[in-house]
Structure 1
Amino acid sequence: MGDLEIRAAVADDVPAIVAMLADDPLGAQRESPDDLTPYLTALERLSADPNQRLVVAVREGRVVGTLQLTIIPGLSRRGATRSIIEGVRIHADERGSGLGTQLIEWAIDESRNLGCQLVQLTSDNTRTDAHRFYERLGFTASHTGFKLPL
């Protein structure tokens, strides 16, 4: 499979990231790979924020995975810092290869190194395979999430 590098995303990675975000039934409805402008603007904001880590997994020069890790200092839980994992995507050619596990383990290690006491994530109710994957990695479905589109 070749060596894997996990590194910060750069503008040249955006087309591959957006293609992975759009490559499933939910993403196909909400992503627009034909116009990368909003994604490049978002990358600039993310890159300027020290509490954000947008990373790509690269194998043999090709972007094959991505995730966003957000660090949130807080007052609850005795002033605990937590992290949130978002936007986990693996290229279709790499699914089942263990890459998803490597990316999540990277995020957990990074969270621990940054002083987080808790790692959390959400997953759409329809993503039952993803739910089994996260449970296998030690995550528990402990909360009900709510969203309000603005």
Structure 2
Amino acid sequence: MNTASTLNFRIATKEDLKEIIKMMADDPLGSQREVVSEIISEKYMSAFEKIQADPNQELTVAEMNGVLVATFQLTFIQYLNFQGGVRAQIEAVRTNSNYRSRGIGTKVFEYAINRAKAKGCHLIQLTTDKARPDALRFYEKLGFKAAHEGMKLKL
């Protein structure tokens, strides 16, 4: 049964932070970066407040029957290229591990792509860690193309 059709998308609230952090930590890479605890750290709270205050950021959650089942962050980037175009960057896409393989990820991307179009974006982009081959295949299935070589410098 595909339950993803009953998803409700909304902007995240502070009350959602603990569940969002749990979703981010619930994979081999995230478990090395994120800290799940009963008390949400000041670092997470500060980041959440900055995201919430920025009109070019949307930290979104998807609910199903009152349960947070997915999250992602969209950033809208204004730039001069493409005649003053706007692009969307999607990051921190996570589905609750108890709800994977139900079509939720596809619904998340359909929603995110429609949000980007509504904001006038001509492009939506993402990065994925090379250690996540399943994610790469999923993004390619959605129509994303590896058109550029991404590079990062840890600071």
Residue in structure 1 matching 2:24, options 21, 24, 28: 21
What runs of 5+ residues in structure 2 fail to find an aligned partner?
none
Residue in structure 2 matching 1:65, options 67, 70, 80: 70
What secondary structure, in the 3-state scheme, does the structure 2 residue paired with 1:77 have?
A: helix
Residue in structure 2 matching 1:31, options 9, 34, 49: 34
Q: Which residue of 1 aligns with 2:98?
A: 93
Cα offsets for 1:103-143 (capped at 9, x unmatched): 11111000000000010000001111111111111100111
Deviation at 1:3, TM superposition (A): 2.4
Segments ≥4 residues shifted beyond 4 Å: none
User: How high is the TM-score relative to the length of structure 2?
Assistant: 0.93
Query: C-alpha distance in 2, partners of 1:78/1:143?
Result: 20
What runs of 5+ residues in structure 1 fail to find an aligned partner?
none
Q: Which residue of 2 aligns with 1:141?
A: 146
Q: How many residues align?
A: 150
- State the one-letter code of the partner of 1:33: V
C-alpha RMSD over aligned residues = 1.1
Query: C-alpha distance in 1, partners of 2:24/2:44?
Result: 11
Q: Percent identity?
A: 47
Matches within 5 A, 1:52-131: 52-131=57-136
What secondary structure, in the 3-state scheme, does the structure 2 residue paired with 1:87 have?
A: strand
What secondary structure, in the 3-state scheme, does the structure 2 residue paired with 1:42 have?
A: helix
